[in-house]
Amino acid sequence: MALEKNWNLPNSLTILRVLLTPGFVLAFIKGQVEIAWGLFALAGLTDALDGFLARVLKQRTTLGAMLDPLADKVLLVAAYLCLGTWEWIPTWLTVVVISRDFLIVGGLALLTFWGTDIRAEIKPTMISKVNTNAQIGLVFLLLAERSLSFYWSGLETVLIFTVGGLTFITGIHYVIRGVSLFHPHETPFS
């Protein structure tokens, strides 16, 4: 019965986003920037649609709440690794973006092991949503520039520093929030 509840259109779109990631990486590595851009745009569309449909169709699920941010992280980590490897972005930005996401995922795993109900305790903040959109925007801009042979170096620079700053700030915010959820008198085996 739980399987039927989780198998819905919004969750299918989220899973599609995860499945588009290897195609994006493969196209990027092969230098097929137009295809990579198309796959990234399609993944972005699924990101916008899955949340909207979950609300409108009243099909929010626990699985969807966990899969959606994970799908975002998988796609963005892959994208920033590709961009950094090809030196389309500074190395420091690649390190900051990927480190933040590993810190968050590791922290969530640790909190879950510790017995914290992370679904009840941790919700994405507005600044975190702005950060995700800025990260997506930078990837989209860089792919569009190379696909269409136009360059907005000023906008690139602004987005690079915006993404770097927001990623750093939201990373610190999540670390502080996560640490506050550990209860020193409890152990994972209590």
Contact status, residue 166 vs residue 127, Cβ threshold 8 Å: yes
Which residue reads 């137009």 in tokens?
A: 34
Residue spans of alpha helices (H) in the chain: 2-6, 9-29, 33-56, 62-85, 91-114, 118-121, 126-148, 153-180
Write down the pLDDT at residue 120. Answer: 63
- pLDDT at residue 75 greater than cutoff 90: yes
Write down the pLDDT at residue 1. Answer: 41
Lowest mean pLDDT among 30-39, 46-55, 128-137: 46-55
Write down the pLDDT at residue 29. Answer: 96
Choose among 71, 112, 169: nearest CA to 79.
71
- Over pLDDT 70: what percentage of the chain? 91
Query: What token pair was written down for 127?
Result: 């600044």
Which residue reads 């569309």 in tokens?
A: 45
Domains and CATH numbers, the chain: 2-180 (1.20.120)
Give pLDDT tens digits for 12-46.
Answer: 899 999 999 999 999 999 999 999 999 999 998 99
pTM attached to this predicted model: 0.86
Contact status, residue 73 vs residue 20, Cβ threshold 8 Å: no
- pLDDT at residue 155 greater than cutoff 90: yes
Report residue 138's pLDDT band, with 50, 70 and 90 as the boundaries. very high
Look at 50 and 95; give whichever has higher pLDDT: 95
Query: What token pair was written down for 160?
Result: 């690079």
Q: How far is CA 135 from the centre of its chain?
A: 8
